[in-house]
Each structure stands twice: as structure tokens, then as C-alpha cells.
Structure 1
Amino acid sequence: MNIDLAIGYLHQYGYLIIFLLALFGIVGIPAPEESMVFLTGMLIAENQLGAAGSVVSTVTGAFAGMLIAYAGGRWIGAPLLRKVGRWVGLTKNRLKKLEAKFRKRRGPIILFGFYLPGFRQISPYFAGLTKVPFPLFAGLSLIGALLWTGPFLLAGYVLGSLFDIDPVYAAYAGFLFLAGFVIYLFVKRAGRRKRDASS
């Protein structure tokens, strides 16, 4: 779904389409979720959408998507992987190694995986597959949804208040945030290596 179509749906269906696009993006159905959240912030600034309804729709949509993907991983994932895993090179040993790595870092992956396209679709599935306790998963997912949607909504609101931005440019918001996040991780890792080398 392209951004022009999303804009049309936003004007027509409002909070329902915000909820559905956030949900679709998490479960893996192609949707411009970051762009949609940024655009929602812009529309709040222009008084075309209410702030409370937009925040609730965005966060609950992302959270619902995480719960659906978790359920899929928990009850469908393992049997499906046993059947098709060997056809895609995912042997039992490789799967065990992936599961072990996920278990070791499950908290940060679930919490911050929202910021990385691909990770946010895979992390809830793997959480279900590795049987992460549901209360832990739900808590991390809700916090992660708030931490992910908050900056996009705020950026859209602030920039929409300050500048007259063509909504079509909202499509680039996801790329800019991803680039910023990758640069942040790179700088943080470089700083850690420098400290380790000097100690």
C-alpha cells in the first residue's frame, strides 16, 4: 500500500485505518506503518485528527499486531517450521541456535525491534516460538509500541506545526528514523570499543 492510498484511507476512515495499518505492519502485511504514524502526527497538528484517538489507535494497533504474531509463533510456528524448515535450509540445529540467541537477548529484541523493519515482524513470532512468558512479552510489547510510535507522532506533529509539508513526503520518515537509529547504534558501539581499548 503506497502513501497516497494510505492518506485517502486516513481521511475516509480515520482512527480505524490508523489501527489497521499499525496492526498490518507488525504482522507482516505490507503497510507504510512508520510513514502512517508520522503522517498521523502531521494531521494532529493540522487539527484533522484528535491527539488522544490517534495515539490510542496507533499504540493499540501495534500492540494487537504483536499479540497476533506471538500467537502465530506459539501455536502455528513450530509445526510449520518442522514441515517447511528443511526446504529453506532451516535445520533443527540451526533453529536451536537461533532460538538460543533469541532467548539470550529477548528483552532488548522485543523492546527495540520495533525500530528495525523485519525485526519488528520476526521478534513477536520468535517470542511465541520460544515460549516467552506471555505477561513478559505483553509488557515489553506495550512499552515498545509506546517508545516506537511516540517519536514518530511527535516528529510529525512538530514538523507539521512548523512547516507546510506535502503529505507525500511522509513516506521518507521511516527511512530517516531508521538511518538515525543505525547511526546511533554505530556511534554507541564505536564509543564502547574505544572505552574497552583504553581500559
Structure 2
Amino acid sequence: MGSEQIIHYIQEYSYFIIFLFLFFGIVGIPSPEESLLFLVGVLAAHGQLSMSWGILFAFLGTFAGMLAGYYAGKFVGYPIINKYGKWVGLTEDKAVKFEEQFTKNSQKTLIIGFFLPGLRQAVPYLSGIFSLNILKYSVITGAGSLLWSMSYILLGWGLGSTFPINPNYVPYLGVGLLVIFIVTTLIRYIRKKRKGRGKI
């Protein structure tokens, strides 16, 4: 999706389109999240968008998606695990152990999860499934939503103000980040496997 289309959507539907894209991205429907945030910053640097409104609607869309995922996990998640978990090797004992690990490191996982595609979409559902305290969850994800949104928008604004970045190429940023994520994950997995073999 090019910047001209996004600008057209924003002009047509106002900043609500930023809210919509990020909401869908968080709940798991494919959406150019990082590249959209970066693009908002670049367009703000070019004077085509208001950065403050962009940050506000990005935050609201992200936070709303996190809450929607939480309640979806809370009311739908565990029944599905109990019914179909055995078919993918997720027994009740494994679910309990995973729940203990997740809740123990929930604060770190919630914040770091924003910056990792895939984990960002899974964390809200897992938090709901494991009934993480909603007040604690809301505070952490509220802060994380703002931090994540502002980081990419300010990065786009800073680079867009310094270098002649063509907004039409910004959407490819999301693809690049996904490739980096996959490569780093594979490297960590291979290193872990090698360490495990070394101990044997």
C-alpha cells in the first residue's frame, strides 16, 4: 500500500484510518503496523499530517486492539484450549506450566512484545486466557502502546526531517522488519540447539 493511498484514506476518513489499521493489526488481521507508524512520522515531517493527532490515534488504535484481544482470550481462549489443545500437544499440564511462566514474566513480555511481530498479536489473547489482572494489564499495555507508537512515529519524523525519504518506499519497512525478526529468531533457535547438544 503506497503513501498516496494512505493519505487518500486519511483525507477521506480522517485520522480514524490510523486507528483502524493499528486496531486490526493488533488483533491479528494483517496490517502494515510499523511501516504505517513510520510513514505517519515521515508525512508529519513533510507537513502533510499532524504528528500529535497521528500519535493520539495510533495510541488509541493500539490500546483498543490490546483490550479487544484480552477480552477475546478471556471469554473464548480457554474453552478452545481445553477442547482442541490435545490435538496440537497442548495438554492441561503444559498449559498450567506455560501460564506460570507467562504470568511470572508478564510485565517484561507485555512491553517487549510490542516490538516483536507475532508476539505482539499473541500477548493480548494469552493475557486474557490466563486472566491477568485487568488493571495491571491496562496500565502496562497503555504505557506500551504509547511508547511503541511514539517510537516509530518519532523515528519517521526525525529521519524524514533529516533525509529526503520518499514516502512511497516506506511501506517496505514492514517487510524488512519481518525479515529481520525471522532471521534473528532462527539464529537464536540454532544457537540454543547447539548449546543443548554441547551440554549432552
TM-score using structure 2 length: 0.82
Q: How does 1:31-70 map to 2 (within 5 A)?
A: 31-70=31-70
**Cα offsets for 1:28-54 (capped at 9, x unmatched):** 000001000000111111121112211
The residue type equivalent to 2:94 in the other structure is R
**2:28 maps to what in 1?**
28
Q: How does 1:66-81 map to 2 (within 5 A)?
A: 66-81=66-81
**1:131 maps to what in 2?**
131
Q: Aligned partners of 1:100 and 1:121: how far apart in 2?
A: 20
Q: CA deviation at 1:108?
A: 0.5
Q: Aligned partners of 2:83 and 2:140: how far apart in 1?
A: 30
User: % of aligned pairs identical?
Assistant: 41
Moved more, 152-161 or 132-141: 152-161
Quickly say closer, same or farther: Cα 1:3–1:66, change in 2 above 3 A: farther
Moved more, 127-136 or 166-175: 166-175
Q: CA deviation at 1:19?
A: 0.3
Quickly say closer, same or farther: Cα 1:79–1:177, change in 2 above 3 A: closer
**1:95 maps to what in 2?**
95
**Are 2:43 and 2:167, in contact at CA under 8 Å, matched by a contact in 1?**
no
**Cα offsets for 1:68-122 (capped at 9, x unmatched):** 0000111111112212212222221221221111011001111121000011111
Q: Aligned partners of 2:125 and 2:35: how far apart in 1?
A: 23
Instruction: Return 5+ residue gaps in structure 1 as ranges.
Output: 187-199
TM-score using structure 1 length: 0.82
Q: Aligned partners of 2:46 and 2:13: how far apart in 1?
A: 17
The residue type equivalent to 1:173 in the other structure is L
**2:110 maps to what in 1?**
110
Quickly say closer, same or farther: Cα 1:93–1:8, change in 2 above 3 A: farther
Higher relative contact order (CA 8 A, sep 6+): 2
The residue type equivalent to 1:52 in the other structure is S
Q: CA deviation at 1:168?
A: 3.0
Q: Aligned partners of 1:114 and 1:51: how far apart in 2?
A: 20
Q: Aligned partners of 1:159 and 1:177: how far apart in 2?
A: 20
Q: Aligned partners of 2:71 and 2:29: how far apart in 1?
A: 16
Quickly say closer, same or farther: Cα 1:109–1:47, change in 2 above 3 A: same
Superposed CA RMSD: 2.3
**Are 1:3 and 1:32, in contact at CA under 8 Å, matched by a contact in 2?**
no
Moved more, 109-118 or 167-176: 167-176
**2:12 maps to what in 1?**
12
Q: CA deviation at 1:149?
A: 1.1
The residue type equivalent to 2:66 in the other structure is M
The residue type equivalent to 2:95 in the other structure is L
Q: CA deviation at 1:179?
A: 4.7
Aligned length: 182
Q: CA deviation at 1:10?
A: 3.6
Q: CA deviation at 1:14?
A: 3.4
**2:168 maps to what in 1?**
168
Q: CA deviation at 1:171?
A: 2.4
